[in-house]
């Protein structure tokens, strides 16, 4: 069964500090991995999308890494801001036979990040 596990479940940091969120997956065959940010009561917003050939991808203060061999990804947030307080969701897309992946996204439970002043 395809699964995505995220850790920690929640994290509290002070404004200006860095943090790293973890994602382990067992989705197979792997197509791509996405990180989303979801503010309370809002829809998820895409941060990064990576294929198996990409080791790292940045989007401003967000840097995602991917190790397809160990099936692990991380999201590093640099110089955190109060607006970074949100749930961060790791999502993995699987390929069907023949290379399609209609809707086969597996979502993690998310890491709730709280940034305090």
Partner 1 sequence: DSGVTQTPKHLITATGQRVTLRCSPRSGDLSVYWYQQSLDQGLQFLIHYYNGEERAKGNILERFSAQQFPDLHSELNLSSLELGDSALYFCASSVADRTHYNSPLHFGNGTRLTVT
Q: Which residues bind partner 1 (CB under 8 A)?
A: 4, 31-32, 34, 36, 41-46, 49-51, 89, 93, 100-105, 107-110
- Shortest spacing between CB 112 and partner 1, in angstroms: 10
Query: Which has the closest alpha carbon to 61: 1, 3, 7, 113?
Result: 113
- Shortest spacing between CB 58 and partner 1, in angstroms: 16
Nearer to partner 1, 33 or 80 (CB): 33
Nearer to partner 1, 18 or 46 (CB): 46
Task: Give the rounded distance of the alpha carbon of 63 from its chain centre.
Answer: 10
- Shortest spacing between CB 78 and partner 1, in angstroms: 22
For the chain, what's the residue count? 117
Cβ–Cβ under 8 Å, residues 5 and 23 = yes
What 3-state DSSP class applies to 83?
A: helix
């Amino acid at each position: 069964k395809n699964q995505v596990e995220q850790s920690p479940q929640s994290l509290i940091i002070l404004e200006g500090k860095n943090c790293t969120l973890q994602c382990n997956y067992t989705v197979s065959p792997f197509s791509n991995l996405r990180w989303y940010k979801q503010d309370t009561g809002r829809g998820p917003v895409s941060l990064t999308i990576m294929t198996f050939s990409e080791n790292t991808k940045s989007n401003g203060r967000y840097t995602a890494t991917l190790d397809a061999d160990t099936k692990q990804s991380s999201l590093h947030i640099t110089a955190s801001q109060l607006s970074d307080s949100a749930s961060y969701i790791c999502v993995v897309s699987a390929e069907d036979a023949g290379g399609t992946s209609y809707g086969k996204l597996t979502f993690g439970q998310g890491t709730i990040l709280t940034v305090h002043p």
